[in-house]
Structure 1
Amino acid sequence: MSSTLSAGYYRPSPTEEYTEDSAGGDFDFFSCLVSSWEAAAVIHGSPTRGAVVRSGVVLGRDGGAISRMLWPFRLGLGGPLGSGLQPFPWIHVRDLSGIVCHVLESEGLQGIFNGVSPSSPSTSNGSFAQELGAALGRPALLTVPAWAVRAVFGAERASMLLEGQRVVPKRTLESGYHFIFPDLSAALKDIVA
């Protein structure tokens, strides 16, 4: 069993939707790294079954992406990155751990599973910023310009933040997993409560 960041595997695209069967893993450092992790997780000729969960941005109360975002948003200084139109693949930490447990406990499951919310493909960075602001009762109007994101994070990480991917949990849903937090608003309210 392995878990990797799906945003690192799939090519950034504002329009293409990626399922577990979509190609990726060969266009930049992060995608090659994720491919190498996944290849190392599979032991060829082993009697054990292999499963990989490719997670989106993990949202939870303690640590993770939210911990870095909360202070600016609580101060009313939060907002979208760049245009805000880029897809934002996300998952609540309880659903990520739920998917991992579901895959481990279901003997017939193996292969790749996208650990992202079913509403993730329709979530943009801008709509995420608006929902986080609403959950905190704060405005989310200040846009962080793309040049500032590139200056802080460097070109490769900035492209992940400024371009994004529409990732769909097709096989995850087909496997019978039922999401606890399929909706971003409910997930953020749970996290900031």
Structure 2
Amino acid sequence: MMFSAWLKGLGLGGSLIMAIGAQNAHVLRMGLSRQHLGLTVSLCILADVLLTAAGVAGVGALIEASPVLMTVARWAGAAFLTWYGIRAWRAAFATDALHAAGGVAVLTWQQATLTILALTWLNPHVYLDTVVLLGSIASQQEPVTRPWFAVGAMTASLLWFLGLGYGARLLSPVFANPRAWRVLDGIIGGVMLTLAVSLVI
């Protein structure tokens, strides 16, 4: 019974977190450029653990019932994603800034921290998926198996971010070519701007 609940949490958590989004795109970028990867991955995992725990504890119902909170999060998230998307597109077309050694701006650890925190906590989809949806399904589990369901979802986050961040290094030979960085930045910019539009319409 407990293993079944853990497996269910693992499956649901994995299906939610593997969707292409702002957070995943940034982790991939940091993995490819090998910048503050441990910090970035750790913050992503910690955030998911906290959000999952909050959802299972019933916080999702409170967030869902607060239209003001969701409206503020939606517009703040859209503004940040728009800025990030434009920044990525500028990098894609700024050919003079590209170089084979990396082709990506170097971030300080403070900038890396603020960026991943913003991409995580200013994204309303994070609350809807991880807290509200995961929390509602967790509430349907037996009280004795609910913690195992939560641990399963947390395990999915752990495995995904470790794999995405550190697995990105396998693609390093491809991204030794500046054109690959240009394509990646173009795709990331498109993803960010699409998500920004989806938040406000």
The verdict on a shared fold, with TM-score over 0.5 as the criterion, is: no
Q: With structure 2 as the length reference, what TM-score do the two structures score?
A: 0.28
Larger Rg: 2
Whose RCO is larger (CA < 8 A, sep 6+)?
2
Q: Point out the structure with the larger helix share.
A: 2
Q: Point out the structure with the larger strand share.
A: 1
Q: With structure 1 as the length reference, what TM-score do the two structures score?
A: 0.29
